[in-house]
Structures are given as structure tokens and as C-alpha cells.
Structure 1
Amino acid sequence: MKRTTAALLPLLWLALSAHAEVQERLQEQYYDLQVASGESLSRAINQASPIRQNGQIYHAYTRWQVQWNFWWREQRDGRCQIDLTRTRLSATITLPRLGGGDAQQRQRFEQYLGALREHELGHYRIGQAAAAEIDAALLATPEYPSCTELQQQANRRANAVLQRHLEHERRYDRETGHGHSQGARLTE
């Protein structure tokens, strides 16, 4: 009997911890860019980029979204507590893809693309932190006198976490100059 119980404990632990796991999906998509030998790489990317916001042209962009669900258990007296959560992070990174160009342009582009991708992965990591913190906040939501109140408070907590991370993302772009301080800069 002890052996069976000991063998089941790791499985029980896995089952209990699985309810807190964040599911993640990251995709990369590309827009094509053609550059002629001797042409300005920066100008060519600016012309090809579909990423335009508030009158600005960007060479890359990361869009992430956190979705959460939770299930609760209602007691006979109406008190309610969260039993299970499911939090999902979906993200898409949009980057340029070079066609044409001479060897020097392709080399400069590859260096630039590496720094650009690393900057965009920083945005993704902010999304990962948001998803993990939202899931933890939902699981830590205390019991409430009613399920309606629990639902309102849990969503309020999750949205507050989301807003903090959206501000963190804006600050990240300001502090890095949208990746310039990380090497995502073309000088021509």
C-alpha cells in the first residue's frame, strides 16, 4: 500500500500543478523587402514596412494577447473559490525578409535583423511575464461571499496585471529607443 501511495504522489502533484500552467504560442511572420545593390537599406525597409502607427514607420512589431479563464467551486452557503485556471499567451512577431542586395547589404541586414528580433523577443518576454502573473493572481484570488463577486474581483485583478505590463512594454520601447540601444539601428 505504501508503494502505491508513493507512486501516486508525483502524479497527484503533476495533476495539481497542471492547473497553473500558462499555454504559449509564438509565431513569426514576415514582409518582403527588395533592395538593389547600393540602395539605402533603411529607406528600402521604410518603404516596404506595413507597420505604421501614429504616423511612425516601424521595421518590426510584436503583438501579444493574454486570455484567461477560471472555474470556481461554490459552497452551500454561496461562498465561492477558484479551483482551476487556464491562461493563454498568443503572440506574433512581424519582421522584414530581405530579397536582393549585395553581400555587404545582406551582412548588414542580418546583423540588424538579429538585433531587431532580440528587441521584439523582449516584448514577447513582457507578454510571458504578464501571462504568468495573471495566472498567479487568479490562483491567489481569495474566497468571496458570492460567485458573482469572485468573478468580478478575479477579472479586476487580472486586468490590473495586464495594464501594468502594457505600461512596462511602453517603457521598454522608450528606454531602448525602440531597440536602437540594443543594436537595432541602421546608419546610412
Structure 2
Amino acid sequence: MIASLLFCLAMPAQAEVQERLQEQYYDLQVAPGESLSRAINQASPIRQNGQIYHAYTRWQVQWNFWWREQRDGRCQIDLTRTRLNATITLPRLGGGDAQQRQRFEQYLGALREHEMGHYRIGQAAAAEIDAALLTTPEYPSCAELQQQANRRANAVLQRHVEHERRYDRETGHGRSQGAWLTE
């Protein structure tokens, strides 16, 4: 009995990261000979700050943690659960001739790869948040623990949001990865 109690007290905090990725599509029609770029621009629902984008990845990290309070009020995290929910929005081609469809498939592959880069940034954020929560030191009170743990998680989240902005700047929103239509 005492050995199993000591074992439970010595157990490290437990983590759980869950991921969910969905793809959604918007349809576009292209007539033979029509500019693929122009058709996607007209069909795309993705507009931000006066810009039209052909694809978009939205990710969100949510975290929960549970703590153990000592008799003297000290508090430490025992369990975390971090969730990454992401949606990638991509175009879906209807119509077009064989050359347009082939060009679209090449473009779509590069576009999807660029968007997966955004998703990987979200994955890194979720994993780092979970690790930051698990390594949050013990605090004199549970209120202080909660405040500091959330501060740590939000700082990690902000770094990854900035990483996403750099990623888009460095790749030209996927242009350097082949996600670019010249016509």
C-alpha cells in the first residue's frame, strides 16, 4: 500500500495533445483558354486586407491543465490536454481543358504543401505549449500557478503566430515553393 502511494506521488505530470485537421474546398469553374489565375481570384472567398488568397490555413490551439494542491497551498500541474484544430481551405477545379487541369493539379500540390507548412507551425505550437505547461514550476498558490501557466502558453502561441508571418514573408506566400500561377 505505501509503495503504491509513493509510486503515485512520484509519477511525472501527464500530457495529452490531440490534433484535428480538416480540408474544405471552394469551387471554381474555368473555361478552356481562360486564365486559371483569374478564375481562382474570382472564385476565392479568402480575402484579407484588400488581398485575395487562393488558400488559407486556420489553426487554433486550446489547452487545459489540472493541478494538485498541497496542504500548505503550493500548487503544481499534474495533467494537461492540448488540442490543435485546423482547417485548410483550397480551391477545387471544375471544367477546363487537359492542360489547365494538369497545371491546376501541379499548382494545387504546391499550394497544399505551403498550407501544410502553416499546419506544421500549429503542430509545433501545440507541442511546445503542452511542454511549457508540463514544465511550469510549482507555485505558492493555485491562482498564481494558473496565471503563470497561461502566461507561458500565450507567449509560446504568440511566437508561433509570428513564425507564421515570417514563413509567409520568406516563401512569398508559397511562391518560392511553386504555389504561383504565371498566367
Whether TM exceeds 0.5 here: the answer is yes
What secondary structure, in the 3-state scheme, does the structure 2 residue paired with 1:178 have? coil
- Structure 1 segments, 4+ long, off by >4 Å, are 8-18
Show the counterpart of 2:30: 35
Q: Structure 1 residues 35 and 125 mapped into 2: Cα distance closer, same or farther (>3 Å)? A: same
Share of identical aligned residues, percent?
92
Partners of 1:47 and 1:146 in 2: CA distance: 56
CA contact (8 A) 2:46 2:53 kept: yes
Partners of 1:127 and 1:61 in 2: CA distance: 13
2:10 is aligned with 1:10: no
Structure 1 residue 130: Cα displacement: 0.1
Partners of 2:5 and 2:101 in 1: CA distance: 51
Q: Structure 1 residues 30 and 175 mapped into 2: Cα distance closer, same or farther (>3 Å)? A: same
- Deviating more after overlay: 29-38 vs 16-25: 16-25
Q: Structure 1 residues 57 and 75 mapped into 2: Cα distance closer, same or farther (>3 Å)? A: same
Partners of 1:55 and 1:116 in 2: CA distance: 20
What secondary structure, in the 3-state scheme, does the structure 2 residue paired with 1:68 have? strand
Q: Structure 1 residues 174 and 136 mapped into 2: Cα distance closer, same or farther (>3 Å)? A: same
CA contact (8 A) 2:27 2:92 kept: yes
**Paired positions, count:** 181
Q: What do the CA deviations read for 1:73-100 (whole angstroms, capped 9, x no partner)?
A: 0000000000000000000000000000
Q: Structure 1 residues 12 and 20 mapped into 2: Cα distance closer, same or farther (>3 Å)? A: farther
Structure 1 residue 21: Cα displacement: 2.7
Structure 1 residue 20: Cα displacement: 1.6
Partners of 2:155 and 2:71 in 1: CA distance: 30
TM-score (norm 2): 0.93
CA contact (8 A) 2:28 2:92 kept: yes
Q: Structure 1 residues 53 and 12 mapped into 2: Cα distance closer, same or farther (>3 Å)? A: farther
Partners of 1:185 and 1:79 in 2: CA distance: 55
TM-score (norm 1): 0.91
Q: Structure 1 residues 9 and 162 mapped into 2: Cα distance closer, same or farther (>3 Å)? A: farther
Partners of 2:74 and 2:39 in 1: CA distance: 61
| Unaligned residue ranges in structure 1 (runs of 5+) | 1-7
Partners of 2:132 and 2:26 in 1: CA distance: 37
What secondary structure, in the 3-state scheme, does the structure 1 residue paired with 2:133 have? helix
Q: CA RMSD in A?
A: 3.1
